[in-house]
Amino acid sequence: MKIPFALIGCGAIGSRHAAVIDAEPRAKLVALCDIEESKMERQRDLYGREVALFADYRDMLAATDAEVVNICTPHGLHAEMAMAAARAGKHVLVEKPMALHTADAQEMIRVAAECDVHLMVVKQNRYNVPIALVKKAVEEGRLGKIFMVQCNVLWNRHDEYYQHSNWRGRKDLEGGALFTQASHFIDLMIWWFGDVVDVHGHIATKNHAIEIEDCGNALLEFSSGVMGTMTWTTCVYNKNYEGSLTIIGEKGIIKIGGQYLNKIEYWDVMSYPLPEDVEFIDQPNLYSKYQGTSSNHPRVVSDVVAKLLKERHHVVEGDEGFKSIDAIEMIYRKATILPGGNP
Ligand SMILES: NC(=O)c1ccc[n+]([C@@H]2O[C@H](COP(=O)([O-])OP(=O)(O)OC[C@H]3O[C@@H](n4cnc5c(N)ncnc54)[C@H](O)[C@@H]3O)[C@@H](O)[C@H]2O)c1
């Protein structure tokens, strides 16, 4: 038995979804949609002539017998596409961020419930080996009382990254760098320490000709009482420098780093050394000039299949995805915009 999947958006991550669905033994790719025909054709050439192609996602939703629709388009299109798919009776797997506004995310959750379909969000970094080790250590209370978390997303996005895209850097379609570059980090902190309940922040656009920020600092307060700081930027000279999360607790300190949160850089926890037999097996998603996230998408898709077959799974549902949108919206609402030197 293979669950039929359809895919909207055959760009950088959509092509990865196509490969992952094709490789999943209990899934099959039945339809593709993109406004650029050549991108769909490239995927069909790889995964079979029987895959149907559609230039308009509404036509695809009306015609396809897919049970799940993966949404891999620019952020600002996720909400309308997810709700249309739900209304067509399809389960939805939407890329992060699920939406650009909490009102849209709430409406997506409501429509999915009304249509009796699952709304699922891609959060593949939760499967990373170091992330899971920290989750376990936190849940078991190994760090004692946790005082603080520090998050650094110090990355480079060159001018062409924005210039060669018709949606990146735009307020209506990308929303902000927090949605693109930092939403995984925010999701993980919320997963470990609870909802973000208050924030203070500064943002600025210092080194790109874009409508969104490229530098930001935020102070975060989590519902568990943990204090957080975040610095995020796409202005680092030449190439990505660091994506890291450092947790400071009464009985220990852990720093996760690497190019895509794939390494433990520091681990000193009372009576709880880093297990020696742990294998750091996460691999990166490779884009033209940069890496940013882990490529644990196969785990996400196999968990979607498991959920639909009523097996054990770790799928992230819409209400969990909502939490990082809520936190990001709060940061943008409360942040002071500093003068930038926007070119
Ligand atoms: N989980 C992750 O780590 C991860 C990694 C990369 C991207 N993403 C997310 O995936 C989404 C897409 O990012 P990307 O880097 O693949 O962007 P991209 O620009 O490479 O791809 C977007 C694709 O959507 C298509 N598209 C645009 N409008 C459309 C429409 N109306 N109908 C059908 N297709 C349409 C474009 O032609 C393009 O092929 C973003 O929301 C991004 O945040 C997530």
Q: What is the pLDDT of residues 127-164, one digit of tens each?
A: 999 999 999 999 999 999 999 999 999 999 999 999 99
Specify the residue with its C-alpha closest to ligand 1, atom 38.
11
Residues 239 and 129 in one domain: yes
Check residue 158 and give its pLDDT: 96
Count of the separate structural domains present in the chain: 2
Identify whether 21 is part of a domain: yes
Residues 6+ apart with CB under 8 A from 254: 134, 137, 143, 246, 247, 264, 266, 267, 268, 269
CATH number at residue 116: 3.40.50.720
73, 163, 290, 294: which to mutate for ligand 1, most atoms within 8 A of CB? 73
Residues 41 and 65 in one domain: yes
* Residues 69, 76 contacting (CB under 8 angstroms): no
Average pLDDT across the chain, whole number: 95
Residues 130 and 114 in one domain: no
Task: Give the ligand 1 atom nearest the CA of 78.
Answer: 41
Specify the residue with its C-alpha closest to ligand 1, atom 9.
95
Identify whether 302 is part of a domain: no
Host domain of residue 246? 125-293+318-337
Residues 152 and 286 in one domain: yes
Identify whether 191 is part of a domain: yes
User: pTM score, two decimals?
Assistant: 0.96
Identify whether 232 is part of a domain: yes
Torsion of CA 281, 259, 120, 165, to 10 degrees: -140
Task: Kindly state the greatest CA–CA separation across the chain.
Answer: 59
Angle, vertex CA 256, rays to CA 196 and CA 105, nearest 5 = 35
Q: What is the pLDDT of residues 93-109, one digit of tens each?
A: 999 999 999 999 999 99
CATH number at residue 189: 3.30.360.10
* Residues 100, 75 contacting (CB under 8 angstroms): yes
Check residue 343 and give its pLDDT: 39
Span from the CA of 297 to the centroid of ligand 1 (angstroms): 15
* Residues 128, 279 contacting (CB under 8 angstroms): no
Span from the CA of 191 to the centroid of ligand 1 (angstroms): 25
Span from the CA of 12 to the centroid of ligand 1 (angstroms): 7
Residues 111 and 164 in one domain: no
95, 170, 185: which to mutate for ligand 1, most atoms within 8 A of CB? 95
Residues 172 and 285 in one domain: yes
Q: What is the pLDDT of residues 207-253, one digit of tens each?
A: 999 999 999 999 999 999 999 999 999 999 999 999 999 999 999 99
